[in-house]
Amino acid sequence: MLLIVAALSLAGILSAHAGTHNIPKVEPLATVTIPDQCTTEPYMEGEGVEANSEDGEVYLAIETTASEGVEDAIKDAAEYLAGKGVSFDDKSMKQSKRKINEMDAEEVSWDGEDDEGPTKIGVAVVSVTSEKGVLLIYWSSPEGAEKNREAIDKIVTSITKAGA
């Protein structure tokens, strides 16, 4: 499964509204639209947004990062997830590059496990400018990833440069 798909799963947070979110909230770099069936909450003191699928099977965090430090951003995201009890099957790691709304994106995905069983994990960096990008972190059950694929795809394809 592609990293972005992995980076775009959601798990179970209550709060703010779905809809279009500025990343970051002040002086936005990009926007992302979260479907109405998801719950969202501000993340990293307004630097991003967290989202969870309606069924609680998919978790997604989206925040700003440095574009030139893609490897570091991916490493930091993997460490964040490991701190949440997510383990990675390094042999399952897949890397890819693609375009999202004319922006370069690098993705890494893994199979793994958490305290509830098998998981799909993903991290992606979408380079919005030569210096800044959007980091997506995804964590889901395999069933949740499949069931929520359409919503995840809509989230990914909604990422646009602010003011575009």
- Mean pLDDT per 10-residue interval, the chain, length 164 residues: 38 51 92 88 84 90 81 81 89 93 92 94 90 91 91 88 84
Alpha helix positions (H), the chain: 3-7, 70-83, 142-147, 149-157
Q: How far is CA 48 from CA 24, 115, 117, in A?
A: 5, 26, 28
**What's the number of domains the chain is made of?**
1
| Residue 139 Cα to chain centre, angstroms | 8
CATH code assigned at 104: 3.40.1000
Report which DSSP code applies to 122: E
Q: Report CA dihedral (71, 123, 85, 21) to the nearest 10 degrees.
A: 120
- Whole-number pLDDT of residue 42: 85
Residue 93 burial (CB count, 10 A): 14
- Whole-number pLDDT of residue 23: 94
- Whole-number pLDDT of residue 31: 94
- Whole-number pLDDT of residue 18: 66
- Whole-number pLDDT of residue 30: 95
Q: Can you give the three-state secondary structure of 56-98, one letter per residue?
A: CCEEEEEEEEEHHHHHHHHHHHHHHHHHCCCEECHHHCEEEEE
Domain that holds residue 104: 3-133+141-161
- Whole-number pLDDT of residue 8: 41
